[in-house]
Structure 1
């Protein structure tokens, strides 16, 4: 018997396609718009996302889009809902449901993600608005004594509660335990923190009876710290990422959709390509290895657009090119 959650999860990691993360909160998109001297108001935010969603051929490379709550309810300039714009192009709409990371009581240098209160009711509304999947992000940083087991456990519990509630509402949860790349740490520190975070996450998902075939994982790649003196090359990133996943990610998970996490467009593409090339020769890599990029797909077209209507076509062409290159990397066929 067909299972809609399983079918949606598999569709989101269809060969050659991945997810556009367009779920920036109001403060985040304000910072992005500040770089092009554009006011962050509802109309400008709508115009920017409409530019992306109406790019010709978007469905060739993009399987789904993570929306901010505001966007889920917005209409395009032609009167259609933005959700309808996406679905007409074969793209699955989803929504970010967490309310952001706040200081963790008892360990204030660390964060815990909030947003579980009232979620069951909100999920019903999102489903009625056309969403078919959801996303929740936990934020984990690396320092001399961090992450603590306490931080990992409370965030894993919240991720699992979110996932169980999403599946109850008929929505595929994307669980995102992000280990930040900020810092000077060696890649081994990221590997250790990522492995611990994933172990805690999948233990909590098991306790809360989450159907893993109806989920996706949105992980960080295993990387050197952003400020590390000697950063590991793509081949080592690929090897370490796949080693950690083989130790932690159950084979029943349909796919991993990597976050770009502050990498440059080129770095995120090169690393995704290396991971897929390495996975092609690995018997332990049973999951689809795709992408869920925000800045990695939007940064170049945003700078081309600059908030000017006359630049829409050029910005869409820049977005199409970034999506095409990222799709190639998702297949291990990127040539820089």
Structure 2
């Protein structure tokens, strides 16, 4: 399916999707949970070292503003919101510059560095998934106060819920720290996380969510940070990590099928970026990219967060030539292509 997006100018991709699809859509809001792949600035407001509210982050964002997004511009969720005829950005719930009038059509509870596993969020002192749910409950009450119970319930029931999480559980937790490795084999840990994902979706369903997209893992062994660990072996992708991501996505697929049978009225889909992102990495020229093994910021080998700053040497001039912005996160161009694919492939039923 990704072949259909080759050659399309990425800057107009979201506008094309919006004009083509949203004629029949009724999605009054986009509500986001997850990690740095979708955090639009919540980490700015908490005491953690994992932040990106400084240059060169955001240099290609609207107004050239570093918002706390781990990207040079917009995130996939921003493009998805626009494709559904909503705002071109999804604001962070903890951002004091926004209020319930802004959040009524879109809100992000995600926190960079978090995971399904509470141990993962403890590593860098970020917002755990259960706390994202607590913020969502608070948001529901605020929305009822703003719109009234009936209208708020309608919005919450028709909203599109986007979930993107899980990479940190493996790369920041399981493979980096000994605790979970002593408790679980790789497969057992996958099953442990899938169980948490199931509980999370069930909780959202209990709270009124019906249109839900559960995000799969990317080919995490091909992230520049992971390839750097094999720099003396040609900076190849870490296939073990890719295999785990692929297996985990298959288990999420089975979970989606199971929950769609168990929960009346739910419309749960798996939005899986794995194959498309891997194709970009393996065939970059087909998408207009030049670099995949290294990122745009600084040396592109290991920098992210505070190591990717305006004083970093060697930061690229044109991020559109790169699949990755920093050693862990895609560029805005990559995000636009992924969002376009997700809208067309898995979210089309909500349009």
Q: Do the two structures share a fold, i.e. TM-score over 0.5?
A: no
TM-score norm. by structure 2 comes to 0.40
- Structure 1 or 2: larger strand share? 1
TM-score norm. by structure 1 comes to 0.41
- Relative contact order, higher structure (CA 8 A, sep 6+): 2
